[in-house]
Structure 1
C-alpha cells in the first residue's frame, strides 16, 4: 500500500489482515521493507505487520537525508506515518540501521511504543569514529566515520544495478558474505531490494569529506552514512525515559557488520593492515557499546544465535520468529 503524509509518500508492505496490534518493522541500510516479507507472514493472529520502505529505499520517495539530524529524518517519518494510520501504540522491530531508528523514535516519542525488538542494531554511538564502551569520539569531528568510508566500487555497482557475483564488492557478493552466513532461498528477491537504494550525496552514501587525520575521511552533512556518524547520532541518554517499554535484543554471533571487530569499520581494518597507515586507532566496540546503553536502560533481554550473521530473520527465520512472537505477547 502507499500513503502520503506531509513529509513523504510511503510504500508499506503489510499483513493480509488490518486487525491486531501493529508491529512496525524497520529495515536497515541498503535494503527495503521487502527484507521483512517472511517475518510479517510469520506473525500470528492478533498482530498486524507493517514494513515501510524508508526514504530513499524501495518504492518510497527518494527524499534527501539531513545528516546533521542523525537518524531523525527517518524516525520522524515513521512517527508521522503512525499518526496518519491512527496507531496509538506500536511494537517496533528495527534491524541494523533500523535499530538505531527505532531507538531514536523511542527516545523522542516513548508513549507511542509498546515494545522494541532490536535485530543486530547499529551502535547507539553510530558507525565508526568512537572508542570504548562509553562511545567517546576518537576525533572531535568524527574522523573515521561518514560517507567517505564507503567502498567506492560497491557504490558504483549499486548505482549501476549490478546483479552479478563477479566481484567481492558487488551487491550480491556483499549479501552472501556480510548479510547472511548460508544460502538463502529467493536470493534474487533480496538483491533486488538492495538495488532499490537511491545512490547519491543526498541519500546513500552521502557527501564525502576529507580529513587530515587518519583514515582521511570525516562526516559530511547529507546522506545516510553521515547520518550514522557519532557526531550526529548518539543515544547515551536512553535510560532517562520515564516509561520504559521492554527491549529484546537479537543478534547473530557471526555478524561482520555490527561487531566489536567489524570488517566495515576502518579502524579495525587498519589494525588488520587492510587500510594502511593506522596509528593504532582501536576498533569501535559496537556490541559492547549497545550492551552498556541497554544495561543503563534496564528492561532488556539479549538473545545470541550461534552460526548466524547480520540477518537473523533470514539466517534463522524460525528461531527469530519464535523469539519475536514471545516478546510481542509478553509486552
Structure 2
C-alpha cells in the first residue's frame, strides 16, 4: 500500500511542511492546497487514491500546520501564499504541475494560474472562494457594497470560534467548537468522518492573531461596522485586497490555457450564495442585528461568471456539482471527487 511521509522543505521564502509519496518522485506532480483553518492533512485520502503515474504533494500554507508562521501581508491578497507555492516548486525542481485547491486554497491556485499560467498543467477547484474574495460584494461582477470593504475581513470572524481554537478545544460542548464546525459546516450532517480526530487537530494547528487568523480589522460607518485591515488571513480574502477581475484578460493571449474543473458540494454552507459565514446573509435571516438590506454575496454565481469569461477566451471549463455534499467534497465523497480529478489530470496541457 502507498504511504505518505512528511518533511519540511527550505525554500527561498520560508520553510514549508509537505506530505508526499516519496516513492513516486518520477511521476507527474499534483500539488494539493488546503483551505482556511485546516492543513495538508485534509488531502491524505485523495493523495493515496491517485494512480502510480502521479506524484502527490500537499503543502501547509504559511501559518498552518508545520509551515513557518510568517506574517500574512493582506494588502497583496493571496499572493503571499501563491508566491510561497512558487518557491516550493522551485525548491522541488518542478517546472510544471497540476494544482488542486480547496476553499481558500482554490483562490491561491487561481492566483498562481493568473500569474504563472505556463507552470499549470491543470487546475481543480474544490468549493473555491469567490474570485472576488469573501464578503462585502454584490452581483456576479463583485461590486463592493462599500468602498472600504465593509462586511469582510478580520472583524467578521466569530470571536467564540477564535477563542475555542486558541484554547485547543477538542470537544462538542459548544456549537462553535472546531469539532462541531467541522461536523456541521465543513461536511453535510449527519456525516461524521473517519479521520475526524485528525482533522480537528489540523484545525487546531492554525496560527492565531493579527498576522494570521483571523487578522486585524478597523471600524467603519457602513453596516455591519467592520472593514478589512491589512494583516492576516481573512483580510487577504477581503475584496479590497483579493480580486481576479482580470483572470480572463491576463490569460487571453497565453498560447496554452490550462483546463479548469470546478467541483462543488451542492449543500455547501460556507461558500454559497447564502453563506452562513457571510454577515449580509446572516443579517437577512436575523442572526446579525441591525441589518440594513445589504445583499448577500452570490459566491457561486461569481465563480461561475469569472470561469465563463475564461472559457470565452479559450479556456476549458467544467463544473461538477455533487448533490448532498457540503464544503469538503474531497473527504465527504471521495469517489466522485476522485473521478472528476482524474478526468482533469488526463486533460492537462
Relative to the length of structure 2, the TM-score reads 0.94
Other structure's SS at 2:86 match: helix
Q: Deviations over 1:231-254 (max 9, x none)?
A: 000001111202320000000000
1:292 is aligned, of 302, 305, 319, to: 305
- Tell me how far apart the structure 1 counterparts of residues 344 and 257 of structure 2 sit (CA, whole Å): 15
Q: Deviations over 1:10-33 (max 9, x none)?
A: 010002421210001000000001
Structure 2: gaps of 5 or more residues: 1-6
- Tell me how far apart the structure 2 counterparts of residues 239 and 330 of structure 1 sit (CA, whole Å): 20
The Cα shift of 1:160 comes to: 1.1
The equivalent of 1:77 in structure 2 is: 84
1:245 is aligned, of 258, 269, 273, to: 258
1:205 is aligned, of 193, 210, 214, to: 214
- Tell me how far apart the structure 2 counterparts of residues 189 and 311 of structure 1 sit (CA, whole Å): 15
- 1:159 aligned to 2:172? no
- Tell me how far apart the structure 2 counterparts of residues 222 and 131 of structure 1 sit (CA, whole Å): 24
- 1:323 aligned to 2:340? yes
The Cα shift of 1:228 comes to: 0.2
- 1:271 aligned to 2:295? no
The equivalent of 1:230 in structure 2 is: 239
The equivalent of 2:227 in structure 1 is: 218
The equivalent of 2:128 in structure 1 is: 121
Q: Does the CA-based 8 Å contact 2:122-2:347 persist in structure 1?
A: no
The equivalent of 1:169 in structure 2 is: 176
The equivalent of 2:11 in structure 1 is: 5
Structure 1: gaps of 5 or more residues: none
Other structure's SS at 1:91 match: strand
The equivalent of 2:295 in structure 1 is: 282
1:147 is aligned, of 154, 160, 181, to: 154
- Tell me how far apart the structure 2 counterparts of residues 187 and 9 of structure 1 sit (CA, whole Å): 27
Other structure's SS at 2:17 match: strand
- 1:190 aligned to 2:207? no
- Tell me how far apart the structure 1 counterparts of residues 90 and 66 of structure 2 sit (CA, whole Å): 20
The Cα shift of 1:83 comes to: 1.1
Other structure's SS at 1:289 match: helix
- Tell me how far apart the structure 1 counterparts of residues 335 and 178 of structure 2 sit (CA, whole Å): 26
The Cα shift of 1:154 comes to: 0.2
Q: Deviations over 1:254-292 (max 9, x none)?
A: 000000000000000011011111110000000000000
CA RMSD of aligned residues (A): 0.7
The Cα shift of 1:75 comes to: 0.2
